[in-house]
Structure 1
Amino acid sequence: MNELVSVWTLIRTSGFLAYYFMTLSLVFGLLSSFAIMKKKKTLLISLHKKSSWYGLLTIIFHMILIWQDQYAPYTLAELLLPFRAENEPLFSTFGILSFYLFLLVMASSDFLIKKLGFNRWKKIHLAVIPAWLFMLIHGFAIGTDSSEAWALSIYLISSSIICVLMLIRVIESMMLRQSSGRHNLKS
């Protein structure tokens, strides 16, 4: 098979593509929560949902390719059950846990939000942060391209963007709480 379209190339590409979509989803989700982005919230939420679904479908494609790979095949149990993989059991588990957490967050957001209620849904939705971190660790540790400068740049830049956005979000929340507390004292 041509090297450009080999199963191995597709596995690697789908892994990076899934990471890209899930990172993009996290970026859009964080941006949509900023007070300054209120006018763009509908657009950002739409982009957040679409990129998360593209990411989840790409993760599933990635897993199917790994399952079908002839060079280093994984069984379904190795792909779906933590610590069962013969190849890099710990880092494979990070990928598995990431998949399940993303699936939980998306199912709760798109199918169960009304049954859960906003507060429960929001707590579950925060699982996207460890899901993304597990995905980052999985890709960095087990990815065959992780030592390449371009791959390291992708991980470094995306991690920096997520950290900055999360820091801004935390600061904004603290400022809003502080402002709300002062308002309540005046009342």
Structure 2
Amino acid sequence: MMSMFRQGVKTTDGSAPETLIKTSEDSSQPVAKDKWAESQARTTTGPSVINAGLTVKGDLESDGEINIEGKVEGDTRGKTVVVGKGATVKGSLFGESITVAGTVEGKLEATNVTIQNTARVTGDIVHKSVQIEAGAYVDGRVSPHLGGAEVRPAKPEFITNKPKTEETGLSDSKKI
């Protein structure tokens, strides 16, 4: 036999709330759907939002999108990270795609980085693709990377076809 109990407070008409919790594994009896679980499944597909007026101290991490409109003091990791126009972040941002319209003090590391014209970024930007709009303020090193390794152009090698002399070891054109 399956036992259930009702959780929560009674509604204004005296009826019990819809959420039921199963206390036995007997699956032969029907069980009402858990409204909380349904709402959690729906909300995990949308972006996580730090609204204006909210300050978060600590690191943030999501498998999806993180929209920051308030203040964050800590590192942020998400598939997509968006820093809104009035937002402030003191910490590093990591993701596949980062868009900044607000203020960031920290490193940005992503495949695609967009710095909008209202943005203020103080920190290095490591990217595969970067777009910096006219009017944006960036104080830091902007460097490309590919597959986790930073890409730098090869140092030019000066090649001369002239043989080295025995006296100095320099080519004839460089004798002192």
User: Does the TM-score normalized on the shorter chain lie above 0.5?
Assistant: no
Q: TM-score, normalised by structure 1?
A: 0.20
Q: Rg larger in 1 or in 2?
A: 2
Structure with the higher strand share, 1 or 2 = 2
Q: TM-score, normalised by structure 2?
A: 0.20
